[in-house]
Amino acid sequence: MSLDALAQTFKALSEPLRLRIVHLLMQRDSLCVCDLMSILDQGQSTISRHLTYLKNAGLVHHWREGTWMHYALVRDGLVPLRPDDLQQCLQQLSDLEADREALAHYEQTPRQCAR
């Protein structure tokens, strides 16, 4: 990994909403943009902009299923951070408890992307 790539990783994780997205993606194998919109109560353009930033930093990859874009973490992209340590750190933040609860509640309702 180059110095520039490492700096890009830290820049990508320096925004609270992007950290929340990474945290949610650590909870599941993948999530659809519509999932993240509902869980985080943000518009499509906001979620997509932050996902693009994470994608450009090499932290997530995406694929299309019908009209929906799905995202998953590139665990190797988090290598300098030791993904398990980052996940443990994020799990301990009370600020993110509401996101975990929203994810669990959201998964009990029909999903927009009908996975």
Please state, for a pLDDT cut of 70, what percent of the chain lies above it.
Answer: 95
Contact partners, residue 78, CB within 8 Å, separation at least 6: 9, 59, 86
State mean pLDDT over 86-109: 86
Q: What are the pLDDT digits (tens) for 24-80?
A: 999 999 999 999 999 999 999 999 999 999 999 999 999 999 988 999 999 777 767
Structure confidence at residue 90 (pLDDT): 82
Which pLDDT belongs to residue 111?
A: 73
Domains and CATH numbers, the chain: 3-106 (1.10.10.10)
DSSP assignment string, 9-44: HHHHTTSHHHHHHHHHHHHSS-EEHHHHHHHHT--H
